[in-house]
Amino acid sequence: MSRKYFGTDGVRGKVGEFPITPEFAMKLGWAAGRVLSKRGTRTVLIGKDTRISGYLLETALEAGLVAAGIDVRLLGPMPTPAVAYLTRTFRAEAGIVISASHNPYYDNGIKFFSADGTKLPDEVELAIENELEQSMVCVSSEQLGKAVRVDDAAGRYIEFCKSHMPNHMSLKGLNIVIDCAHGATYHIAPSVFRELGADVTTIGVQPNGLNINAECGATHTAALQQKVLDVKADLGIAYDGDGDRVMMVDHTGRVIDGDEIVYLIARAAQKQNRLRGGVVGTLMSNMGLELALAELDIPFVRSQVGDRYVMELLREKDWRIGGENSGHVLNLDHTCTGDGIIASLQVLTAMIQDQQSLAEISQGMSKLPQVLVNVKFEKGSAPLEKQNVKQAILDVEARLAGKGRVLIRKSGTEPLIRVMVEGEQQAEVEAYAHEIANAVKIAS
């Protein structure tokens, strides 16, 4: 059954435009409350990132949930994976994150976690959508929910993150630059790494509601790369606005992306005899990851793009490790959702165990040149169905002659067509990607 409001990652859009309006947020809170009030603790946690519209949506959601008889625990600015963790520890019925992840400040979204810290099951999302079609009614006064703020949420999550590095290890002697994208990790990540012994330099830790993800963080690593070189750091770590993505930078300024991070974590797990099964990537995962894992005899399969689909395939196969080149990394031996801080701690643990730098430990995987071009399109148009686009794709595939890949898809969160071309030569791949992108622009 198709969803009217929920996408691959909750409800998302531009603030002030349906469905990211105060009226809809209140109705969504009420509808979710109606579904969730029939079970469990009748308690829901709400966390948010640092964008200015979080205040508006938090208040509206709170009103809707309370009107449905749900008690609300307000976490304030918290990374998405922190909300998943705290939902479990508070034994809450659900957790809600107000965030548009890596998008600009003027976008926002509302996504839900189930009681076990994973994405809501399809049947629950559909039940909420069904309630959204009903008229909103308020429970009687004695049944109204209550809302309280959780004062120690950040401290709880900091300790949880630190617990994922072995007790006998520390980061003493490491000089690390951390870029928090002016987002939800700004008051979390620096404390985690400092308390584990690292010498930490920070950027992107002064959120003002409007600067989240602005030329910083996991989607814009240039500032981090320069800072690592300027302060002669051992490495840098960048998170996105809600902390579920991570990119790393070695001491030379080279970016270590999600594919390489997944490889490093899987290789370390294999060395420790803790690897169960293989690794799940996506259609966007670099072919270099597949080849490097094959060298280690580690099975590799691809899911659709999106951490939701990576998770589904991990569960289907009963595997533990997966991720996306964009920096979503899953290791179900550590936590139940993508967590940028924990993923970076796993890489640092592997570095310490191997007594190697990030640059040295990353040499086991070589990426094929891969170019991604994003093309905006008008909602309602279907450029991928146009003959000139289909022909451009066929032409490029013929010239690649089986020594590369073409992947064209619509973004699940923005009005973009993503054109990805992978091959042996960087200049050739760039030309092919722009050739197809131009065809998409004409068709749009």
For residue 374, the cross-strand partners are 418
- Cis before residue 190, ω within 30 degrees of 0? no
Phi, psi of 247 (to 5 degrees): -125, 150
317 alpha-carbon distance from chain centroid:
22
Helices (H), 355-425: 358-361, 387-400
**Tokens, residue 101:** 């992840």
Q: Is 49 annotated as a binding residue?
A: no
Q: Is 107 annotated as a binding residue?
A: no
Residue linked to tokens 């900091």? 158
**Tokens, residue 333:** 């031996």
Q: Residue 401 in contact with residue 361, Cβ under 8 Å?
A: no
Burial of 33 (0-12, 13-18, 19+ CB in 10 A): buried
Beta sheet of 199-203, edge-to-edge order: 199-203, 175-179, 235-239, 246-250, 255-256
Q: Is 170 annotated as a binding residue?
A: no
Size of the chain, expressed as the number of residues it contains: 444
Q: Which residues contact 51 (CB under 8 A, 6 or more apart)?
A: 99, 100, 105, 108, 209, 210, 212, 241
Q: Residue 268 in contact with residue 346, Cβ under 8 Å?
A: yes
Q: Is 242 annotated as a binding residue?
A: yes
Could you tell me which of 190, 226, 228, 222 has the C-alpha nearest to residue 206?
Answer: 190
Could you tell me which of 22, 10, 19, 26 has the C-alpha nearest to residue 113?
Answer: 10
Residue type, 158: I
Specify the DSSP element, H or E, that contains 177.
strand 175-179
Q: Helices 340-354 and 258-271: crossing angle, nearest 10°?
A: 50
Q: Residue 43 in contact with residue 144, Cβ under 8 Å?
A: no
Catalytic residue positions, numbered? 101
Residue linked to tokens 């690593």? 221
Annotated binding site for Mg(2+): 101, 240, 242, 244
Binding residues: 101, 240, 242, 244
